Each structure stands twice: as C-alpha cells, then as structure tokens.
Structure 1
C-alpha cells in the first residue's frame, strides 16, 4: 500500500497531470515530480514511481528507481526492445510493472474478449476478428498498445483498424463475425481520470510485490483473486 507517497514522471503531460490530480483527490502525497523542466526530488523515498512520460525519460527513471529501490509502474505506450531491456535489468532489483492500459474496465474488457474467442473456438465457430482502435488525432501510436493487447486476447488473428479522429479519450471494439451474426465487445473511455484512478490502484498493488517484471494484467488478477479469497 502507499504510506509515504509517490513519484510521478511526466507530471505535466496529459496523463501525468491527471495522475497528480487523482493523488490530490485521494490524499496521496506526490513526493517527487519530473517533467521536461527536470526532476524535483522530495526528501522522502516514494513508495512507488509512476512513469507516464516519454520513452526518452526512461534512463533517468531507471536510475532513480535503482537508487531509491522504489518499484516502478511504467505507463508509456509500446516500449521498444532496448527500453524493455532496461526495464528487465531494473526488475532484478525492484518490482517493475509495464502497463499497456491502466483502466480497470479495460482489464475486464480484455478478459471478456479472451473468453469469447476461446468459447468460439470450443464450439466450432468460424470467426472473423477485427479490432477497431479509435483515438483522437493527438495519439501518436497506431495501433495503440491497447489494440495490440486486445488483438492478442482475440487470438492474434484478424485485423486491427486504427483511426485517429474525434474527442478524447478512446474507443476500442472487438468484433467477432460469423455467418449471419456478429458480436461487438466495446470499451469506451471518456476521461483520463479512469486511467489515473487505475494508476493509483495498480501503484498500491505494486508496493506489495517482490522484485520482478509484471504487467497490469498480473496486478489486476492479483487484486481480483484477493477479493475472491476475502469473500
């Protein structure tokens, strides 16, 4: 759990600023912030570092986490292989969670897609799969990390159609087409507060983990299992 506070890298970006606001709303101290203006470190070690910045900032983030032994929640989309290597090296010392998407309902969406794909195969449906990936024009990655995850959940076949238009934040449809019928599993995010609240939920869980490499799917799965055990 978060007892001291957090560090936020990319604190002035769209997602980073939303995370800072979520911290204020949930009485979570932000001890250290980093942005294009530089790092402003607090006196206390943060319980966890949340990086929502840019791939170019990763080396500084890794150095800070290694020095403070703080776990890392890495929220930057589609890290390159050399960046994943840096994260793997760091994960020998602290817990590192790479999150393609922070939203709790995205996690449910992805698991629903995985279940639908598995059931379709089990009963012999001849399915055509399409992932629709809609973000505003400001989104650089196409397809998005979320669309890649959903494509994998749907079986890794079929197409991803990425479109860049419209209002924030995003829409993702997974369409399963069969002769004479179709199934549309849809998740829509209307405000970055969904991702920011998810970041705090995952960050708190990350503080409980031993050193190693994790995904948001791992952490939400742990939270769901813990809730079931508590019932």
Structure 2
C-alpha cells in the first residue's frame, strides 16, 4: 500500500515516515511540507537519519494525493480541511490526527467522507482507545455525585488546549452519563468561580518540557476517588496506530471512521 505523509518534516511527520518504512505491506509514496521549508527536496529517509529511500520532500500536496493510496495528516486544522478536499477529489484515503478543527473545517472533513475513506481520531494509541472505553463505562456506573475532571499534560510546543484526546475523554464521560459535553464542560477556572456545579465535567491543562502526552480522568466521589490514566512515552504509539488505520482503510467503503472502527471495539 502506498502511504504518504503531509507535514512530513515535523516531529510527528518524521515519526510517521519511520513507521511507514517499518510496516509490512506499506511503501512510502511521498511527503510534503509548506513551500520554502528548509528541508525541501531532501530524501525522506535521510530526513529521519536513515538510508536514502529515493523519495524527496515536496511542496505539492495535490501530487502527493494523486500518487498515494492513503495520506496521513497530523498538521493544523486549516491544512487538514484543504487536504480533505484533495482526498475527495482524488479518492485517496485520509487518516486525520489533527485536532482543534472548527465547525466549518469539520464539515469539510465530513463532506470528503461521502466520496472517500476518512479515519479521524484524536489519538491513534491503542491504549488511549481502551481508556476511552473504560471512561465511558465508569461514567455509566458511577452516579453524578462523582465529579469528573480530565487532566492532561503535553510538551510546550503544543498549540491547542485542552488536547483533542482530553476532549475525546470528556465526550466519552458525557456519553456514559447521557449528557452533551458542551452543555456541562468547564474548560478553565480563574478567580472566584463559586461552588462546582453537580454534573460538571472539568478540564485542567498543563504544558511543559517534552511530555508526549499524559491523560487522567478522575471520578471524585464521597469518600473515594477513581483515577484512570494513560501516559505515552513515545510518539511511536501514535504513528504505528495511524499506519495501521491507513492499511485498514484500503478495504473500506467511503465514510468517516474512528479508531474504534479500526480496532474493532
């Protein structure tokens, strides 16, 4: 399967290159970056400190989509929305790890799903997807006397907050409670905010150092606290999951799928 990477010269992009090169049944079809990037024209193997693979970094994402069976996108929302349109035009599967899309950008992704296969997930780690299931189940079992708080920490380069994974965990907790997250979420507290409303789902965001991704969901009840935690120590777990999703996409009909679909949860 021919897999390409947009945003290939970034931290996650380089990890994705390595994951594609290491995967059985996958060939690296190409990689792109914005025009003017200092690594433009470099061999993608050499870009990650490996042997040359005969594929160079390009600034033409359209050509990338036309050459690949699937494209993996861990970029930024504006770019991802544009890539979704290219995926729809070319019929190429698009694997989206970008978070923070607004309503219009998400609509572009959903529209592309009518014409090609889209896999979209806030997190491609198998462990995080297990965590999502556990959080939803715990929220079903524990009454709303148990306050739910989602705590996340990432490296200081991360630009969106709360993280997409934290929001996914909030949605899982809300689903377990049978409520809509946007109606009960509290994403920041500052000053005299008053007592915590019953049923609120709170978020706390930490940034610093080189933390790959830590997420904890707390159920704080009378006399006890249940905490469910996942800590990622390497981006390899995200890259490997994204390549797995790309290979899975090859046998699917057009639509927008999640990592739960890929894993068969």
TM norm structure 1: 0.86
2:102 alignment counterpart:
80
Please point out which of 116, 119, 137 is paired with 2:141. Answer: 119
Structure 2 unaligned blocks of 5 or more:
36-58, 175-180, 182-199
Q: Would the alpha carbon gap of residues 60 and 177 (structure 1) be closer, same or farther in structure 2, given more than 3 Å must change?
A: closer
Residue 84 of structure 2 aligns to a residue whose secondary structure is: helix
1:21 alignment counterpart:
18
1:98 aligns with 2:120: yes
Task: Please tell me whether the aligned partners of residues 32 and 64 of structure 2 are also in contact (alpha carbons under 8 angstroms).
Answer: no
2:70 alignment counterpart:
48
Task: Please tell me whether the aligned partners of residues 80 and 98 of structure 2 are also in contact (alpha carbons under 8 angstroms).
Answer: no
Q: Cα offset for 1:171?
A: 0.5
For the residues of structure 2 that align with 1:149 and 1:30, how far apart are their CA atoms? 30
Residue 253 of structure 2 aligns to a residue whose secondary structure is: coil
For the residues of structure 2 that align with 1:196 and 1:204, how far apart are their CA atoms? 13
For the residues of structure 2 that align with 1:149 and 1:42, how far apart are their CA atoms? 30
Task: Please tell me whether the aligned partners of residues 218 and 228 of structure 2 are also in contact (alpha carbons under 8 angstroms).
Answer: yes
1:11 aligns with 2:8: yes
Report the count of equivalent residues: 216
For the residues of structure 2 that align with 1:83 and 1:203, how far apart are their CA atoms? 21
Q: Cα offset for 1:74?
A: 1.2
Larger radius of gyration: 2
Q: Cα offset for 1:44?
A: 7.4
Task: Please tell me whether the aligned partners of residues 168 and 191 of structure 1 are also in contact (alpha carbons under 8 angstroms).
Answer: no
2:212 alignment counterpart:
169
Q: Cα offset for 1:187?
A: 0.1
Q: Cα offset for 1:166?
A: 3.3
Task: Please tell me whether the aligned partners of residues 98 and 216 of structure 1 are also in contact (alpha carbons under 8 angstroms).
Answer: yes
For the residues of structure 2 that align with 1:43 and 1:179, how far apart are their CA atoms? 54
1:227 alignment counterpart:
none
For the residues of structure 1 that align with 2:128 and 2:88, how far apart are their CA atoms? 30
TM norm structure 2: 0.76
Please point out which of 15, 31, 34 is paired with 1:33. Answer: 31
Please point out which of 125, 130, 149 is paired with 2:168. Answer: 149
Q: Cα offset for 1:66?
A: 2.8
Q: Cα offset for 1:143?
A: 0.5
Q: Which runs of 4+ in 1 moved over 6 A?
A: none
